């Protein structure tokens, strides 16, 4: 966090008891999840000194990994429901770079990243991360969690969100034990799959029911390829992005 003259200063507690750090006087922003634990650096001769210390209360961050080719309302509802049930400060969507489980061609990382940004932009608690698409080589969840741990810091509480199909396979993922060390797993229901934690270490996972959305990216791709609509299966902006970039289309099929 940049601290210096005219850049960052500490502000008093507000009416909700929050304390925060402001950036640029006209653009006050509360930094959620942090408490000021030591006294503010004194203002000396008009110059602000670095604050004595900030400690994190532990920002609660959900992580929704996926190929997102394209992102659809099943992903978004699952993330929203987990955010509500676990009082998360943020859910970060992480489009995979090269998914090691998927042999078939996937759309370019930039297209999948941009569709994810479009789909998440209107929700103040949703963000999109480039950690996986910017890393060389195949994407492994353990690397995702290491990178996000570095971004959010040791105090953050990470919740890794997976649908029932992905949860069933998690022990085959690289360095599964380290995944459990970094994040609490949240398995969510998905139509057509059985949600079970029988194969997982006790206390490492919570299972929750989310509104059933019988949608898959595969079905969305197939619909576009066959000339059928994906309106209301994916956010409107994603429908338009797919059309604009002519994703999933066979050249002879007209329409969205």
Hey, which residues between 135 and 154 contact ligand ATP (CB under 6 A)? none
Segment lying near ligand ATP (by CB under 6 A), choices 14-22, 54-62, 113-121, 216-224: 216-224
State residue 112 phi and psi, 5-degree precision. Answer: -70, -35
Nearest to 212 by CA among 228, 231, 189, 181: 189
Binder among 142, 213, 243, 256 for ligand ATP (CB under 6 A) = 213
What residue ranges in 112-226 does DSSP mark as E strands?
A: 126-128, 138-139, 157-163, 183-188, 205-208
Hey, which residues between 13 and 72 contact ligand ATP (CB under 6 A)? 66-69
Nearest to 85 by CA among 186, 170, 190: 186
Q: Are 167 and 57 in contact (CB under 8 A)?
A: no
176 SS3 class: helix
Residues with Cβ within 8 Å of residue 211, at least 6 apart in sequence: 77, 81
Cα distance between residue 157 and residue 185, in whole Å: 11
Q: Tell me how far, at minimum, the Cβ of 203 lies from ligand ATP, in Å.
A: 21
Hey, which residues between 163 and 192 contact ligand ATP (CB under 6 A)? 163, 165-166, 188, 190
Hey, which residues between 78 and 107 contact ligand ATP (CB under 6 A)? 78
162 is a site residue for ligand ATP (CB under 6 A): yes
Bridge partners of 93?
A: 64, 128
Q: Tell me how far, at minimum, the Cβ of 143 lies from ligand ATP, in Å.
A: 17
206 is a site residue for ligand ATP (CB under 6 A): no
Segment lying near ligand ATP (by CB under 6 A), choices 123-131, 139-147, 208-216, 233-241: 208-216
CB nearer ligand ATP, residue 21 or residue 238: 238
Q: Which residue is nearest to ligand ATP (CB)?
A: 163
CB nearer ligand ATP, residue 51 or residue 163: 163
Q: Are 108 and 246 in contact (CB under 8 A)?
A: no
Q: Tell me how far, at minimum, the Cβ of 246 lies from ligand ATP, in Å.
A: 19
80 SS3 class: helix
Residue numbers of the site for ligand ATP (CB under 6 A)? 66-69, 74-75, 78, 162-163, 165-166, 188, 190, 213, 215-218
């Amino acid at each position: 966090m940049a601290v210096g003259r005219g850049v960052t200063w500490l502000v008093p507690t507000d009416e909700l008891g929050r304390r925060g750090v402001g950036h640029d006087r006209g653009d006050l922003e509360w930094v959620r999840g942090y408490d000021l634990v030591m006294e503010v650096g004194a203002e000396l001769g008009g110059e602000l000194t670095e604050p004595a210390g900030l400690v994190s209360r532990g920002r609660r961050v959900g992580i929704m990994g996926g190929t997102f080719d394209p992102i659809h309302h099943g992903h978004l509802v699952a993330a929203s429901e987990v955010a509500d049930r676990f009082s998360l400060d943020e859910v970060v969507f992480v489009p995979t770079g090269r998914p090691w489980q998927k042999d078939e061609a996937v759309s370019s990382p930039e297209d999948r990243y941009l569709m994810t940004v479009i789909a998440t932009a209107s929700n103040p608690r949703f963000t999109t991360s480039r950690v996986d698409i910017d890393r060389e080589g195949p994407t492994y969840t353990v690397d995702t969690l290491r990178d996000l741990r570095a971004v959010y810091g040791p105090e953050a509480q990470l919740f890794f969100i997976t649908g029932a199909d992905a949860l069933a396979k998690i022990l085959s993922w690289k360095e599964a034990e380290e995944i459990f060390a970094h994040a609490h797993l949240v398995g969510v229901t998905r139509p057509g799959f059985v949600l079970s934690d029988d194969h997982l270490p006790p206390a490492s996972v919570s299972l929750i029911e989310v509104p059933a959305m019988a949608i898959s990216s595969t079905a969305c791709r197939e619909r576009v390829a066959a000339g059928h609509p994906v309106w209301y299966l994916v956010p409107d902006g994603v429908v338009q992005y797919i059309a604009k970039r002519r994703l999933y289309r066979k050249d002879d099929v007209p329409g969205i």
